[in-house]
Structure 1
Amino acid sequence: MRRYFITGLLIWVPLGITLWVISTLVGAMDQLLVLLPQGSRPSDLLGVHVPGFGVLLAIAIVLGTGLVSANILGQRLVRFWEDVLARIPVVKSIYGSVKQVSDTVLSDSGNAFRKALLVRYPHGNAWTVAFQTGTPAREIACMLPEEHVSVYVPTTPNPTSGFFLVLPKSEVVELDMSVDEALKYVISMGVVAPAAKPEAAALCKPIIRPKPVDAERVDANLPG
């Protein structure tokens, strides 16, 4: 009975969570229907609420916004809107930070979350999966003796929280896996491993590097 129960859970739990996430997203997007005039909403025309029309409306709004902002007039309107938000004391800090992060992450020319890395964390004898988010700011890079990279180390099973680190480029290892595969690997706590590639297995070599010296132990052994 225990084996059958666990087998049933393995079938229904992923399906239930998937349906719950989709239902939550669709329900949130259906709230956009309040933007339509009274009487022109799908529930008014059909006489019954049909979930999913909010998703179509959200897609239409996003596509329409991108189409309008692609021309010169639309770009002027966007700049005007951003200038208005920049004059609001609290909003300008939140909007500016989110805008900068979204432009960096979603831009095709950016390097944010384009590479999956293997880094030493939380100490020199442990390794974890991380993502390269770019290069350090000039004020930081000029103080470092060699080339460094900005790295985001996600937590598991919730990758939206994590740690931002600046590490030497020579101490990070670029993995032969996509960002999606690395995210699945992190979220599953290492259970869902990426599919092995035969050609990558043939070229795989162990990482042989000296362990970093523990500064506290060195100080303890110094005379005086």
Structure 2
Amino acid sequence: MSETPKISGMTRLRNYFLTGFIVCAPLAITAYIAWSFIGWVDSWVKPYIPYRYSPDAYLPFPVPGFGLIVALVLITLIGFLTANIVGRAVVGFGERLLGRMPLVRGIYGSLKQIFQTVFAEKGNMFRQVGMVEYPRKDVWSLVFVAGEKETEIGQKLDRPSDPLIAVFMPCTPNPTTGFLMYVRKSEIVMLDMTIEDAAKLIVSAGLVAPEVKKPILGADGQPIEIGNPPAGRLPQPALSKRTASSRPNK
């Protein structure tokens, strides 16, 4: 019989400390970020709230988050008013006024387009995760694949059989910064992982990898290979040549 190796008291204490650290660190960082965000919003909103309407005037301690609640209510109210004819007319007048300011109109137009793309036009956001050979051959980088759109770049470098696709290559550990590149569709290897899983992989510098999905089995019980997307379609996994060739011709 093999004897179970004994664990010293210091080793147990170290393991307990690491276990507690793994549990407490994400909670503490999340609470710190949330508390800092609430304090930042309160510092912007509370000075504009009349003192008699603030709970700080009636309580012996400040109420955190009251400014955030007021900001959420005001934003929702503005969105409700903007949805009618009068609100759209006021917003249109304000945009025309900003459009006459040389420096402000460029900043406002860019920010408005970004926010509309991220929050309103969800169909135009990143669709899938892929990989491209960068910065050299046999070295692969994760990219977020956008949908195909008719652009001047695609017209100048036209190749209908293998169109260009806009991809965003995020940096580690901050996925909000990176590089915008246009890559041939045949050179993109599509992955099954979600955008959220890819973001976790990038933020953790490869330490938090998503689980490998089980292969899809065909009618013959053999796994179906996933390859690059066919040219002329939206970015999506395609069946292998073996499966595609086994389909009956119409």
Instruction: Name the TM-score, length of structure 2 as normaliser.
Output: 0.73
2:37 is the alignment partner of 1:21: no
Among 78, 84, 88, the alignment partner of 2:97 is 84
Q: Residues 64 and 174 (structure 1 numbering): CA distance in 2 closer, same or farther, change over 3 Å?
A: farther
User: Whole-Å Cα distance in 1 between the matches of residues 122 and 60 of structure 2?
Assistant: 47
User: Whole-Å Cα distance in 2 between the matches of residues 109 and 18 of structure 1?
Assistant: 26
User: Whole-Å Cα distance in 1 between the matches of residues 62 and 122 of structure 2?
Assistant: 42
Deviation of the 1:3 alpha carbon: 4.3
2:197 is the alignment partner of 1:158: no
The answer (yes or no) to whether the contact 1:105–1:113 under 8 Å persists in 2 is no
Q: Residues 204 and 180 (structure 1 numbering): CA distance in 2 closer, same or farther, change over 3 Å?
A: same
User: Whole-Å Cα distance in 2 between the matches of residues 138 and 194 of structure 1?
Assistant: 34
What root-mean-square deviation, in Å, do the aligned CA atoms of Structure 1 and Structure 2 show?
A: 2.3
User: Whole-Å Cα distance in 1 between the matches of residues 169 and 175 of structure 2?
Assistant: 8
Deviation of the 1:35 alpha carbon: 2.1
User: Whole-Å Cα distance in 1 between the matches of residues 171 and 204 of structure 2?
Assistant: 11
Mark the runs of 5 or more structure 2 residues left unpaired by the alignment: 1-9, 218-222, 229-250
Q: Which string of whole-angstrom CA distances, capped at 9 and with x for unpartnered residues, describes residues 65-106 of structure 1?
A: 211111122112111111122222221111111111221222
Amino acid at match of 2:82: S
Identity of aligned pairs, percent?
A: 38
The answer (yes or no) to whether the contact 2:127–2:147 under 8 Å persists in 1 is no
User: Whole-Å Cα distance in 2 between the matches of residues 155 and 109 of structure 1?
Assistant: 23
User: Whole-Å Cα distance in 1 between the matches of residues 187 and 108 of structure 2?
Assistant: 35
2:111 is the alignment partner of 1:95: no
Q: Residues 43 and 203 (structure 1 numbering): CA distance in 2 closer, same or farther, change over 3 Å?
A: farther
Instruction: Name the TM-score, length of structure 1 as normaliser.
Output: 0.81
User: Whole-Å Cα distance in 1 between the matches of residues 52 and 177 of structure 2?
Assistant: 43
Mark the runs of 5 or more structure 1 residues left unpaired by the alignment: 208-224
Alignment of 1:48-67 (within 5 A): 48-67=61-80
State the number of aligned residues.
207
2:192 is the alignment partner of 1:179: no
Alignment of 1:169-208 (within 5 A): 169-198=185-214, 202-205=223-226
Q: Residues 199 and 66 (structure 1 numbering): CA distance in 2 closer, same or farther, change over 3 Å?
A: farther
4+ long deviations beyond 6 Å: none
